Amino acid sequence: MPEPRGADLSGAERTPIRPIPVTLSSSSVFTLHPQHVFAMAQDLGYDGIEMMVTQSAWSQDPVRLDQLSEQHEMPIHSIHAPTLLFTQQVWGSAWNKIARSADMARELGAELVVVHPPFRWQGSYARDFAEGIRDIMEATGIMITVENMYPWKVRGREAKMYLPHHDPVPLDYDFVTWDFSHAASAEADSLAAFRLLGERLRHVHLTDGTNTGKDDHLLPGHGAQPVAECLQFLGASGFTGSVCVEVSTRNAKYAGQREEMLAESLNFARRHLALGQRQARQQHQNQTPRETQEHP
């Protein structure tokens, strides 16, 4: 499995070597059967799927998922473990959720697993979380990324829901997933976080949000987060991870609007990632003649 590497504070020294894959999260069509996410991703031209494990039997069955993947020629790139509040009854204990997700990822050929940080009431699981996920990574060879979350508010006051914190940037996690909607709810500076995380950042949930405290999961570019700038930064810095569209389409009002929303998000991602890569190539070309003159 890949070794964790230290943060790159400059974020502009890695040379782009490949197109950055843009995948589609099954949570973007949460109310529909998992079959729909594969069909939509294929029709719209996505590079793969992130499957969120929920109460749906299909989302928990690697055999069925593999069949859908082959049928639609759509690889499963990542698995979102059932570590959300509404999936607490899925797959038993907290450690079992992560271990089974990693096993399923390995069986399906997925690259990574996304997990949420522990809730404050989860005792020893929360205390041993960083070391525990390292043990599972070592045992399975699957990368486990910890997602940024946000503070909850109860009667207008902030409540500490996650241990040790909702922000993974300063914590001892090898790999991180960054979600723009969660960042908006936390009033976090996403571009600064990207710079600080460096190569610890391996996965991005592409969405947007406002600073109202609501986890809106808006389409990218429809909120207050610097999503375009962050994607350009990833393209320019030679990001070796993946970008996964995770937006809410529940408010689609007419047939085909959900597909339009997902197509817009995909185009937004590819446009700004490509712009960042072009900027990096141009910068490299502009520097090459001077370097040649200095070192004949």
Predicted local confidence at residue 155, as pLDDT: 64
Of residues 99, 32, 24, 37, the one with CA closest to residue 65: 37
Average pLDDT, the chain: 90
Q: What is the distance of C-alpha 181 from the center of its chain?
A: 11
Tell me the whole-structure pTM to 2 decimals. 0.90
SS3 129: helix
* Helix (H) or strand (E) run with residue 208 in it: none
Residue 79 has pLDDT above 50, yes or no: yes
255 burial level (CB within 10 Å; 0-12, 13-18, 19+): exposed
Instruction: Tell me the CATH architecture of domain 22-290.
Output: Alpha-Beta Barrel (3.20)
**Which stretch of 45-59, 129-143, 276-290 has the lowest confidence by average pLDDT?**
276-290
pLDDT-based confidence at 33, cuts 50/70/90? confident
Interstrand relation of 152-154 and 157-159 (parallel, antiparallel or unpaired): antiparallel
Q: What residues does 176 pair with on adjacent strands?
A: 146, 201
Predicted local confidence at residue 296, as pLDDT: 47
Q: Domains of the chain: which residue ranges?
A: 22-290
pLDDT-based confidence at 289, cuts 50/70/90? low
SS3 73: coil
